Amino acid sequence: MPNTTTVTMEKLVALSKQRGFVYPGSDIYGGLANSWDYGPLGTELKRNIMNAWWHRFVTSRGDMVGIDAAIIMNPKVWEASGHVEGFTDPLVECKKCHERFRADQIDISKPCTRCGNKDGFTDPKNFNLLFKTFLGSTEDSSSVAYLRGELAQAMFVDLPQVLMSSRKRVPFGIAQQGKCFRNEITPGNFIFRTREFNLMEFEYFIHPSEWETWFEYWLEQMKSWLDFCGVKREHLVFHEIEDGERAHYSKRTVDIEYLYPFGQKELYGLAYRTDFDLMRHMEKSGVDMRYTDPKTQEKYIPHVIEPTFGIDRTVLMTLLEAYCEEEAPTSEEGETSTRVVLKLPKALAPFKIAILPLSKKEELSALAGPLADRLRQRWATDYDETQSIGKRYRRQDEIGTPYCVTVDFDSLNDQSVTVRDRDTMQQVRVAIDDLEKWFEEKLD
Ligand code: GAP
């Protein structure tokens, strides 16, 4: 089938909204700029991504443990980490319309992109991205706290407790998934850049002499994860960040960039954070962050390799990669029409199976309903008996369901159903009693 796809953000945003992947937040009140809610299907897709990541990088390995830390930490954490002082973006303001921009994202020698003013912009000033809040009933400097700007700090400050309670030995990692907050100057491009976003990352603690080996190892593991997500390698760019451009804590960074419809931009990052953070926390807290090698008795501050994965950007990239428009037959006489299909990796698809009784007749529902309930115990299963079967197939294609099971009037006699494959659209007849075995081979 010829693929006629040109995936645009307009198409993807429209499909996401219509099918319930992602839609504007607070919509009944006119929304809130750059705030998005995951709908029923988006929530499943996001969870499947997070669970697959957790399994791959945490539970299936012996050298990794997970934590789930508080979002609001002692403000001293962010002072020690350098975020209060240095977690900034350069901000400029149009002298006429006062729109604010990131100085590193626009050409300040050109007119304002919003109002066309040619009189220029204010001088760049550093704008801190940490989200400030106040704890308790007084709003003064003594009650200032921050919503976490990255997950990493909890993995650093919890290291002594994790080492003590888990008995892990270097090299090993601590992983976390969760929300982060940044007061971005210019959020935008759907869920690409928002002020509240989801992150999954780990800090991998190593002996300093081994950092280059581990850096290469984790880069390969990140590539393998991207293969699993169904990303074509030609849509990725591995960008070595030069001296002077890296975050304040990093000695080497590779940004993994993706070719979004709005340009080549960051997807994930891999950083060698050295002992910067542990050293700073040791100085500020007075707690000894050194590790003693049980074999050699060497005492040292572990160094850290940090692979970091934006969850929302993974959802966006996965949808972009999966989105296909192709000419598909609509009749035996060779007529065709364009079908939209999300060719999601099966492991990530929100529904794995859809049960579609050919009509709403009670005898079909009586067979199809319990069948859906049965399969649902093993795989996420949708049930739909509205509209024509052709329209229902198209709907399932659009949400990426790998298999549709049609229960028809023959099923009542031969106790078999028709299973249709999302990608090839080929149909096979399978005995109802054999369905679990059949799907085990295809889905597990
Ligand atoms: N602990 C390292 C760290 O936080 P980062 O490059 O600042 O590194 C990590 O952010 C990842 O978080 C990025 O690679 C990106 O995927 C995602 N990310 C960063 N800012 C974001 C935002 N405003 N909205 C959505 N995702 C964002």
pTM for the model stands at: 0.96
Portions of the chain given CATH number 3.30.930.10: 9-75+130-319
Rounded-to-integer distance, Cα 429 and Cα 190, Å: 42
CA of 76 to the centre of ligand 1 (A): 22
Terminal CA-CA length for the chain? 27
Distances (CA, A) of 205 to 53, 178, 420: 19, 21, 47
Residue 375 in contact with residue 355, Cβ under 8 Å?
yes
Delimiting residues of CATH 3.40.50.800 domain(s) in the chain: 351-443
How far, in Å, are 318, 347, 348, 382 from residue 377 at the CA level?
A: 26, 16, 17, 12
Tokens at residue 434, please?
Answer: 């054999």
- Counting Cβ atoms within 10 Å, is residue 441 exposed (0-12), middle (13-18) or buried (19+)? exposed
294 burial (CB, 10 Å; 0-12 / 13-18 / 19+) is exposed
Q: What is the pLDDT of residues 295-324, one digit of tens each?
A: 999 999 999 999 999 999 999 999 999 999
Pocket, ligand 1, Cβ cutoff 6 A: 150, 152, 182, 184, 193-194, 197, 199, 201, 266-269, 306, 308, 310, 312-313
**pLDDT per residue as tens digits for the range 401-440:** 999 999 999 999 999 999 999 999 999 999 999 999 999 9
DSSP-assigned letters across all residues of 238-263:
EEEPPTTTS-TT-SEEEEEEEEETTE
* 158 beta partners: none
According to DSSP, residue 400 is labeled: T
- The first and second tokens of residue 426, run together, are 């080929």
Structure tokens at 173: 């990692």
Distance 282 CA to ligand 1 centre (A): 26
- At 404, list the tokens: 């549709």
Write the residue with the smallest CA distance to atom 9 of ligand 1: 308
Average of per-residue pLDDT values in the chain: 95
pLDDT given for residue 333 in this prediction: 81
Write the CATH number of the domain with boundaries 9-75+130-319.
3.30.930.10
Calpha distance 68→426 (Å, rounded): 44
Q: Given pLDDT bands bounded at 50, 70 and 90, which one contains residue 6?
A: confident
Q: Which residues pair with 430 in a beta bridge?
A: 417
Best CATH choice for the domain 351-443 from the list 3.40.50.800, 3.40.50.10140, 1.10.3720.10, 3.30.450.30 = 3.40.50.800
Integer Cα distance of 128 and 150 in angstroms: 14
Pocket test for ligand 1, best of 181, 189, 267, 313 (most atoms within 8 A of CB): 313
